[in-house]
Amino acid sequence: MAFSTLPLSYCTNVHPCRTAADVPLLLDRFALPIRDRCGFEIAVGLWLPAAAAAVTAGPPDLAAAVAARGLSCHTLNAFPYGDFHGARVKENVYQPDWTDPRRLDYTLACGRLLATLLPEGGEGSISTLPLGFKAAATRPAFEPESIANLLACAREFAAIHDRTGRLIRLAIEPEPFCVLETTAETIAFFDRLFAAAAAAGSEESVRRHVGLCYDVCHQAVEFEDPAAAIAALDGAGVRINKVQISCAIEVIDPRDAEQRRALADYVEPRYLHQTTGRAADGTIRRSVDLTADLVRDPPAEWLACRPWRIHYHVPVDADRLGPLGTTRNELRAAMNAIGGLAHAPHLEVETYTWPVMAGGEPAPIVAGVADELRAVRSMLGRG
């Protein structure tokens, strides 16, 4: 297998960040202790909210702050626009969507910032939301407006490349209950995006600067086969620019009261935890969130589904969480498939739920993330 030789990243959206001044503080409080505990070089996949990203492409010099600590950054997370650590994030994380000029402006600010963080001739990636939340994307103009903004983003990333020599690639991240959630939907959309780019005379630029972020947890919740999904994307010419290394919760048998009691500890008010179950005939039952009612008293049709999978990023080094399972086998399969690609996507561990893990008690983030990075390093064959 051939993977990126860049240092393995972890996503800093696990840490609160509300201003540009927060970034050096979180590097000192978290990233450096994580690196020291790992005992090998790591990178930071930075997340900054829009208010911070807009001012950080200039002074204060974030690139100097990162370099002074012996860290590197080759990928940003530009999915959450606002406060990702508020009391209730849920579906608000999908706003503004890709029809909104604010989403474009935020992404371009992140692109300018990332160009300052990359070495000369370097390549960077920026993950972003899958256009928007499906239930809110009902206007006929939603897709054309999204495509127009994506084309504008590609044009500006091309201009950044011309000015700086740094190549920035956008990475659209499918997610359950969003406009793009399944691999089939994603491929169909990229076909339309590339057709629109061709009509505008910019297909080559769009293919270079716009691709996919493959979040392993998300596609596991869709019950997709990782090898088949990754092969289909590659065969359709959709470049995977970034992989978010993540695992979902799996309830092996929801009829087991012990498993449901354990699952109840993961019902929490901050993040959206899309939940699916696979019936015996292969059909998928879906709930937009993990709720106390669903766990406590599931309808018969849900009890008949085995297993359930929950969009709740759990430690990627864990095969089990007490009586609950995880989708770590899907992670192994996905990494095997990623290693067979002709190009090497950026790799980022993204377990943003450490602060709300199992019952809302803050988890030992430094130890937990370091354990995850060590486990992934071993999975990649780096010892």
Rounded Cα–Cα distance for residues 12 and 23 (Å): 9
Counting as low any pLDDT under 70, the low residues of the chain are 1, 55-60, 359-363, 383
- Read off the pLDDT of residues 198-209 as tens digits, 9 standing for 90 and up: 999 999 999 999
Contact 126, 169 (CB under 8 A): yes
CATH superfamily, domain 9-248+314-379, is Divalent-metal-dependent TIM barrel enzymes (3.20.20.150)
Rounded Cα–Cα distance for residues 210 and 203 (Å): 10
Residues in the chain: 383
- Read off the pLDDT of residues 231-270 as tens digits, 9 standing for 90 and up: 999 999 999 999 999 999 999 999 999 999 999 999 999 9
Q: Taking the model in full, what pTM does it have? A: 0.97
> 2 CB contacts (<8 Å, ≥6 apart)?
339, 340, 341, 344
Domain-by-domain residue ranges, the chain? Answer: 9-248+314-379
At 55 the pLDDT is 67
